[in-house]
A and B are shown apart, each in its own frame.
Chain A
């Protein structure tokens, strides 16, 4: 049950695109198309922004997109906005009601 690997931080200027990787194993990311991404702002509960690798819940801006290749999932924020500054966590289902989260990435808008 080792955490999925994410970069500690990424940054970009407004309107730029940034991509966050999330690397797991054949037992989690590589085996299931149930990768989700969560945005967390200070003092708040996480909020899902992507699920099933690439689906967006209602109300999430379309500048957020997700993809997966092999054991690595990715979240891309296209057209970075100031309000996107937050911590982002990936999560993969691992079978039998188990889950594993990523190590988390701090996104800074320059």
Chain B
């Protein structure tokens, strides 16, 4: 069974930094990409960042580019989101999600098939 457990959320002042962690289990971590998706209070889902299985490819939403950095440590089965220069509009629940799925025939699909429980980040202005 796939499990994703986030940690590191909390309250931070605008301009400050936080690092989220997501520890994964139940699948071969280094084979698959991982993503962060956030949801502001009462709002919809927003893709934030993704990283490839080997960590060589990353991308970020324009809203966080230059401020947030996704990384991973495959020896620890953990993906990170370093958030700098935080703004009030970054206040959200941040979900870690497994990005992609191989079926029994080895066919790959892009989807978020497993999600963590979410980590609340609150940025005070």
Which A residues are closer than 8 A to B by beta carbons? 1, 3, 32, 34, 36, 38, 40, 45-48, 51-52, 55, 57, 87, 89, 91, 93, 96-104
B83-125 CB mask vs A (1 if < 8 Å, else 0) is: 0000000000001000101000000011111011110000000
How many inter-chain contacts with C-beta < 8 Å in the A-B complex?
A: 75
Instruction: Give chain B's interface secondary structure class.
Output: strand
Contact of A101 (CB < 8 Å), options: B47, B59, B111: B47
> Complex Cα distance A40/B113, Å?
13
Residue among A48, A93, A101 making CB contact with B46, cutoff 8 Å: A101
A38-B45, A97-B51 in contact; A45/B116 too (CB < 8 A)? yes
Cβ-defined contact, B95 with A100, below 8 A: no
Q: For the complex formed, measure the closest distance between the CB of B101 and the CB atoms of chain A, giving whole angstroms.
A: 8
The distance from the CB of B61 to the nearest CB of chain A, in whole angstroms, is 6
Question: Which are the 9 A-B pairs with shortest beta-carbon distances?
Answer: A97-B50, A104-B44, A34-B110, A51-B111, A93-B110, A45-B115, A99-B47, A36-B111, A101-B45
Asked, given contacts A36-B111, A46-B115, A89-B45, whether A97 binds B61 with beta carbons under 8 Å apart, the answer is no
Nearest A residue to B45 via CB reads A101
Cα(A97)–Cα(B30), bound, Å? 15
Cβ of B95: which chain A residues have Cβ within 8 Å of it? 45-46
Say yes or no for B71: interface residue by CB 8 A criterion.
no
- By the criterion CB–CB under 8 Å, are A36 and B112 in contact? yes
Q: Is the CB of A100 within 8 A of B112?
A: no
Neighbouring B residues of A51 by C-beta, 8 Å: 101, 109, 111, 113
Beta-carbon contact of A99 and B117 below 8 Å: no
Q: How far apart are the CA atoms of A58 and B58 in the complex, in Å?
A: 30
Q: Is the CB of B112 within 8 A of A97?
A: no
Asked whether, in the complex, the Cβ of A3 is within 8 Å of the Cβ of B112, the reply is no
- B57 part of interface (Cβ distance < 8 Å): yes
Contact A46 B112, CB 8 Å, known A97-B57, A97-B58: yes
